[in-house]
Amino acid sequence: MTNQNSRFITYPSTVDKVRKTVMIIDIKPADFIVLNEFLQKSTNDFDVYLYDGESHDLEWLNHVTKDCDHVLIDDTSQVRITPESTNVRYGIGLEYQTPYSYFTKLIDTVDAVSV
């Protein structure tokens, strides 16, 4: 079964919150491809906001991250979100090396709560 309900949202768009929402800042193209394939096969629904540091619209970023359940930031990114305790940095040498590794744990947690 494939999931047709997860969606990617980019600047300057926003959507009403109807499912688990994740912001990913400065995702690498290869990581995006892997995550997209994973979410297409997942039975869980997500709204995934994507923000690159080039957008420079901090008002939009602040607005969106307030409503997100999770915020993932590439460890090489210059973007900082406060408070730091509400976001997870990912990259080589960290607990989560890619957004995919974070989503697999997140989905395991969602499935455990649903049971």
Q: Three-state DSSP class for 71?
A: strand
pLDDT digits (tens, 9 = 90+) for 64-113: 998 899 999 999 998 888 766 678 999 999 999 999 999 998 887 655 44
Closest CA to 18 of 9, 27, 28, 10: 9
- Domains in the chain (CATH in brackets) are 7-114 (3.40.50)
- The arithmetic mean of pLDDT across residues 39-55, rounded, is 89
Q: At 67, give phi and psi (nearest 5°).
A: -95, -5
Give me 52's structure tokens: 């690159």
Predicted TM-score of the model (pTM): 0.85
Q: What is the largest CA-CA distance in the chain?
A: 41
